[in-house]
Chain A
Amino acid sequence: MIDIKNLVYQYESNSKYPVLDRLNIQIKKGEFVSIVGENGCGKSTLVQHLNALLIPSKGTVQIEGLDTKKQSNIWSIRQKVGMVFQNPQSQFIGTTVQEDVAFGPENLALSNHEIQTRVNDALEQVGMLDFKEYNPMSLSGGQKQCVAIAGVLAMKPEYIVLDEITSMLDDKSQKTISDIIKHLQKNGITIIYVTHRIKDVVNSDRIIVMSKGRILYNDKPQTVLEEPSLPESGIEIPPIVELANRLKRDGIIDTYNNKNLPFSNKELLEDLCQSI
């Protein structure tokens, strides 16, 4: 479990007011949590605390009971919490796909045989095994992010943080990535998914909406998406959801009773047909 208590963080170079302001968040094992919010609200700053890349100015962050403030915990925390970043360009270290995926296991000083097994395993999971010998820079944006995910998987993490990894990708690659995420969650990995596309969050167990370093909402997607003041937090809500919300408020349809939010015209139509 991840336990964030009263987290305050202030960049030294930016000392006016804290970027994160007294956050309290708990994430249980196996959960799929989405973090959304407008640009600059502190999402990246928050998630960089989860593997001790940043240390709280005040408050505590604990991963499975390990406090990130304690230097001796850092390496086991980083092994437990893997992190994939937005720009694939600057997260590759190796000159081939397999070298890059091997980078983490090499740092864990695993045996040669174990590294090879893990590299193949991880690439298999993201469907990139055939690209082992390729130069990662020659891959498409979506493939690059798949390799980046494999690089984290090879460390056998319990939690994976994905920080806006699809914001540079087209719809098709996004679909591939979200399928991979579903598969990972099924394998028991806790997912922390940062995005500003509300479309991506429907599958999550919980949405945390942030604004200016604070938590606005922290609840199930269906509950959060119904919040009338949600648009004010700078989050773009798909028109179809807005329409569904409106129809529900006016008592025309009775949706959100199960997890299936109407995110496409077809789904809304089905809901409408059912209610009539």
Chain B
Amino acid sequence: MHSFFFNYVPGNSLIHHLDPRTKLLAVMVASIFIFNAETFLELVTIAGFFVIIAFISGVNYSIFLKSLRPMSLFFIFLFFIQLFLSEGKPIFTIGFINPTYEGLITGLQITTRFIFLILFASILTATTQPVMITSGIERLIRPLPLKYIGVSSFDIATMMSLSIRFIPLLFDNAKKIQYAQMSRGMDFKNNIFKSFSSVAVPLIMSTKRTAQDIAIAMESRCYQGIYRTSLFELEMKNADWIVLLGISIMVLLFMFLI
């Protein structure tokens, strides 16, 4: 969670200078491609795209790989679920444990897809400040008829930036409470349930108080959840239109080739 949202690396590359809306749309299109990729060749092509785009961004590859780490348990889980639960020709059988060749293939496919999804998204987060991503999303969803579900695009954008801002604070608070409880003799190793509640209860209380405080602070600075402007004005430049044109051509080609 931590490294994925907070891996922005300042830079001057073409990718950095693209409008966040262009990058958001590109990630969306990329994820459609990724989830339709089945053959080895298709996956390799996608990998090739990733390597090229990451190179243009000038961001060190290790940053992107790091963004996979928090998700690694999920990837492993996903892979083994497929491996063991798919029907097909067994690789070996021990009791009721029987991994299959089909499972191995789909496991690899699905895990690779998720890995690419995260990698492409991390190009977005590594080259775009969080505030730009949220304003990009705000602009993209502004035309939607959100008022029928009782929110505005501005509300959603503010909620997103608040979450980005408060997730680290939440982890910090949890750490602090845990240390405080440990210093009072709470045994975190042997008493999992009790130690969980000893952190969760104060954490919920303190989070609730912080949420109330922040709501007051926002109201006192005239936040109304209605139309507001932004410090950073989004502007589609020529490069953005060229990239979008390129993406559209690719999508069209792909649709006709199939």
CB neighbours of B222 from chain A (8 A) = 75, 78-79, 104, 107-108, 155
Q: What sequence of 0s and 1s flags, for each residue 217-232 of chain B, a beta carbon within 8 Å of any chain A beta carbon?
A: 1111111100111111
Q: Is the CB of B210 within 8 A of A90?
A: yes
**CB-nearest residue of chain A to B168:** A137
Complex Cα spacing A110 to B169, Å? 30
Across the interface, do A109 and B229 meet the contact criterion of CB distance under 8 Å? yes
Complex Cα gap A40–B51 (Å): 61
Question: Which of A78, A89, A96, A115 is B131 in contact with, Cβ under 8 Å?
Answer: A96
Shortest distance from the beta carbon of B203 to any chain A beta carbon, whole Å? 15
Q: Mark B150-187, 1 if CB is under 8 A from A, else 0.
A: 00000000100110110011000000000000000000
Check B87 for interface membership: any CB of A closer than 8 A. Answer: no
What residue in chain A is nearest B131 (Cβ atoms)? A99
Chain B neighbourhood of A75, CB < 8 A: 222, 224
Of chain A, the residue at the smallest CB distance from B164 is: A95
Decide if the interface of chain B is mainly helix, strand, loop or mixed.
helix
- Partner pick for A78 among B129, B210, B221, CB 8 A cutoff: B221
Give chain B interface residues in 117-131, CB to chain A under 8 Å: 129-131
Once the chains bind, are B165 and A85 in contact (CB under 8 Å)? no
State whether the Cβ of B214 lies closer than 8 Å to any Cβ in chain A: yes
Residues in chain B near residue A99, CB distance under 8 A: 131, 231
B218 and A93 within 8 A (CB): yes
**CB contact list, A247-268 vs B, under 8 A:** none
A53 at the interface (CB under 8 A from B): yes
A95 and B214 in contact (CB under 8 A), knowing A103-B221, A115-B229, A155-B222? no
**B165 x A93 contact (CB < 8 A):** yes
A106-B138 Cα distance, complex, nearest whole Å = 14
Beta-carbon nearest neighbor of A104 in chain B: B221
B93 CB to nearest chain A CB (Å): 53
* Docked complex: B199-253 residues within 8 A CB-CB of A: 209-210, 213-214, 216-224, 227-233
Q: Which of A119, A137, A152 contacts B231 (CB 8 A)?
A: A119
Whether A151 sits at the interface, judged by CB under 8 Å, is yes
Identify which of B129, B224, B229 contacts A112 (C-beta below 8 A).
B229
Known contacts A91-B213, A106-B231, A112-B233; A78/B219 CB under 8 A: yes
Least CB distance from A67 to B in Å reads: 18
**A76-98 Cβ-contact flags toward B at 8 Å (1 or 0):** 00110011010101111111101
Taking a contact as CB atoms closer than 8 A, the residue among B161, B213, B219, B221 that contacts A155 in the complex is B221
Residue of B165, B209, B220 with most partner-chain A CB within 10 A = B220
Given A53-B216, A89-B210, is A112 in contact with B231 using a C-beta cutoff of 8 Å?
yes
Q: Interface on chain A toward B: helix, strand, loop, or mixed SS?
A: helix
Q: Which of B131, B161, B213 contacts A85 (CB 8 A)?
A: B213
Residues of A within 8 A of B228 (CB): 106-107, 109
Q: In which size bucket is the chain B interface?
A: 20 to 34
| B-side contacts of A111, CB under 8 Å | 229
Given contacts A85-B217, A109-B229, A137-B169, contact A93 B224 (CB under 8 A): no
- With A95-B130, A96-B131 known as contacts, the answer to whether A106 contacts B229 (CB < 8 A) is yes
Contact: A151 with B213, CB < 8 Å? Answer: no
Q: How far is the CA of A78 from the CA of B224 in the complex (A)?
A: 11
A222 CB-CB contact with B under 8 Å: no
Tell me if A211 is interfacial: C-beta within 8 Å of chain B.
Answer: no
- B231 adjacent to A116 (CB under 8 Å): yes
Contact with B along A155-195 (1 / 0, CB 8 A): 10000000000000000000000000000000000000000
Encode contact with B along A107-151: 1 for CB under 8 Å, 0 otherwise.
111111001100100000000000000000100000000000001
Point out the residues of chain B lying under 8 angstroms from A105, CB to CB: 229, 231
- Residue from the list B158, B162, B168, B231 in contact with A98, Cβ < 8 A: B231
What residues on B are CB-neighbors of A87 within 8 Å? 213
A90 to B158 Cα, complex, angstroms: 15
Q: With the chains together, A207 CA to B7 CA distance in Å?
A: 49
Indicate whether A90 sits within 8 Å of B229 (C-beta atoms), given known contacts A95-B131, A108-B222. Answer: no
- B210 contacts across to A, CB distance below 8 A: 89-90
A83 neighbours in B (Cβ, 8 Å)? 220
**In the bound complex, how far is the Cα of B52 from the Cα of A13, in angstroms?**
61
Name the residue among A51, A112, A119 with the largest chain B CB count within 10 angstroms: A112
A33 within 8 A of B: no
List chain B positions with a Cβ less than 8 A from chain A: 129-131, 158, 161-162, 164-165, 168-169, 209-210, 213-214, 216-224, 227-233
**A-B CB contact pairs (8 Å), 14 listed:** A79-B222, A87-B213, A90-B214, A96-B129, A96-B131, A99-B131, A103-B223, A106-B228, A107-B223, A109-B227, A110-B229, A112-B231, A116-B231, A119-B231
Other A-B pairs, 13, CB within 8 Å; known A53-B219, A104-B222? A78-B221, A82-B221, A93-B162, A94-B161, A95-B129, A95-B161, A99-B231, A103-B218, A107-B223, A111-B229, A112-B231, A115-B231, A151-B221
